[in-house]
Amino acid sequence: MVIRTLLITGLLLTLAVSAGVRFSLLLALGLLIGFSLERFGFGFAGPWRRLIRERNAQGFVAQLVAIGLTAVAIQPIIAFAPGTLIGAIAPVSLTMVAAAFVFGLSMQMILGCGSGTLVNAGSGNAIALTALPLFCIGSFLGTLLVPFAIEATPHIPISLTESFGVGGGVTVTLFGLVGVGFLASWYSAGSLWNKKLLIAGVILSALAILHVLVAGQPWGVVYGLGLWVAKAAQGFGWDAASAQFWIHPINAQALQSSILTDTTSLTSLGLIGGAALAAWKDSSVQPFKQPIAAWYFAVAALFGLLLGISSRLAFGCNVGALFSGIASGSLHGWLWLIAGFAGSIVGVKWRDQLWRRASEGLS
Amino acid sequence: MSRRSGIVMALVFAFSVVGLDWSLGVAPDPYRSPDPMAYGSKSGASGAICTFAPGAEQ
């Protein structure tokens, strides 16, 4: 434990000196988020699966609490610092909704969402390790498709804060979350409250608020993954000037800069590291490979790819669009929730069928 | 093979991403770093964010 603490401290100090204090703080936040998610067993795909299959809404309710607490803090903070702090506001469109549906389906197939795939990979999960590289490639491919999607269908960003004012935006967000909570409680077959998950939700909310204060923007995951592959593709001769997404000054700047100065890259790397730290102690007595047929890993790779493509077309995953979008007062976060949950219902059924076949005769 | 092997693979992946970027790209310049916190400073968000939709009405 002492050695790990010294290593992490050294890593953060090195980053602070070589890149800047803000970037070191962002990596630290990523590490804390990854550690908390893994240690508390808090996630997004798993709780949705338990709600759909077992009518257990505890994890889902903890998510709503976390989003609500974050919304109460960040909507006013962002509104009172225009030009400095930005919210996770994205357009709503047909392609965005369809992509959120595909993401919801895909995250059930590999039991890992945007943050979940990184955390699961960091904790040594073989399926997540298979899906992660394809998730990154998919995120890059998605950036190439985004301009076509935007040209093909109307994309309209709707901010609740701009529509109703700060107080109105927060109120509408909280009413929406309470409404969804009532629906979940109506469907739930047991208690709604789980102390451990609620504590995790409060911690996640605090870290998400700190993320806004440090980075100036809400927590996200997939942008960084696509950026890594775009940089690698450049190394292999790909011309970024040929891609409409990457010639935009913000993205072109990100391509020319170190990933150690990119917000989502740092927190995503931190998620992997934090989960690794949390899982390290018990990992030596746990088996690496799950008792399933090899072909399921090809399925995981395919849905990892779809996870990446769909998250770009949906303007975020469960973190950037669902968590940060709703907390920022973006209507697209709400549509993401509905479409993603519908996709998850299909994904849970497909995953059960395929998993049963993949496990037959092997367990 | 234990799950620890998987953790090592994930860490190798993460460090490879940083190493590859370092070898291909520009090293970070601490003299151009923004203020430690965006809140209360003039150096705000980078804008490179998951919800960014270039070409759409922003």
Kindly list the residues from chain B whose CB atom is less than 8 angstroms away from the CB atom of residue A157.
Answer: 53, 56-58
Closest CA to B51 of A329, A162, A132, A106: A329
Task: Give the mutation candidate from B9, B41, B52 for the A interface (greatest A CB count, under 10 A).
Answer: B52
> Which one of B7, B30, B42 has the shortest CB-CB distance to A19?
B30
The string of pLDDT tens digits covering residues A187-237 is: 999 999 999 999 999 999 999 999 999 999 999 999 999 999 999 999 999
> Which one of A155, A223, A258 has the shortest CB-CB distance to B48?
A223
pLDDT in tens, chain A (363 residues): 788 899 999 999 999 999 999 999 999 999 999 999 999 999 999 999 999 999 999 999 999 999 999 999 999 999 999 889 999 999 999 999 999 999 999 999 999 999 999 999 999 999 999 999 999 999 999 999 999 999 999 999 999 999 999 999 999 999 999 999 999 999 999 999 999 999 999 999 999 999 999 999 999 999 999 999 999 999 999 999 999 999 999 999 999 999 999 999 999 999 999 999 999 999 988 888 778 899 999 999 999 999 999 999 999 999 999 999 999 999 999 999 999 999 999 999 999 999 999 998 665
Distance CA A287, CA A268 (A): 25
Tell whether B30 lies on the interface with A, counting CB pairs under 8 A. Answer: yes
Contact B49 A320 (CB under 8 A): yes
**What's the half-sphere exposure (Cβ side, CA atoms, 13 Å) at A272?**
26
- Closest chain A CA to residue B22: A258
Tell whether A307 lies on the interface with B, counting CB pairs under 8 A. Answer: no
The answer to whether ipTM exceeds 0.90 is yes
Kindly list the residues from chain A whose CB atom is less than 8 angstroms away from the CB atom of residue B36.
Answer: 20-22, 25, 214
Kindly list the residues from chain A whose CB atom is less than 8 angstroms away from the CB atom of residue B16.
Answer: none
Taking 50 as the pLDDT cut, the residues of chain B under it are none
Distance CA A306, CA A310 (A): 6
The single-letter DSSP state of residue B31 is G
Distance CA A259, CA A264 (A): 9
A186 to chain B, minimum CA–CA distance in Å?
32
The 3-state DSSP class for residue B2 equals strand
Contact B51 A126 (CB under 8 A): no
In SS3 terms, chain A reads as CHHHHHHHHHHHHHHHHHCCHHHHHHHHHHHHHHHHHHHHCCCCHHHHHHHHHHCCCHHHHHHHHHHHHHHHHHHHHHHCCCCCCCCCCCEECHHHHHHHHHHHHHHHHCCCCHHHHHHHHHCCCHHHHHHHHHHHHHHHHHHHHHHHHHHHCCCEECEHHHHHHHHHHHHHHHHHHHHHHHHHHHHCCCCCCCHHHHHHHHHHHHHHHHHHHHHCCCCCCHHHHHHHHHHHHHHCCCCHHHCHHHHCHHHHHHHHCCHHHCHHHHHHHHHHHHHHHHHHHHHCCCECCCCCCCHHHHHHHHHHHHHHHHHHHCCCCHHHHHHHHHHHCEHHHHHHHHHHHHHHHHHHHHHHHHHHHHHCCCC
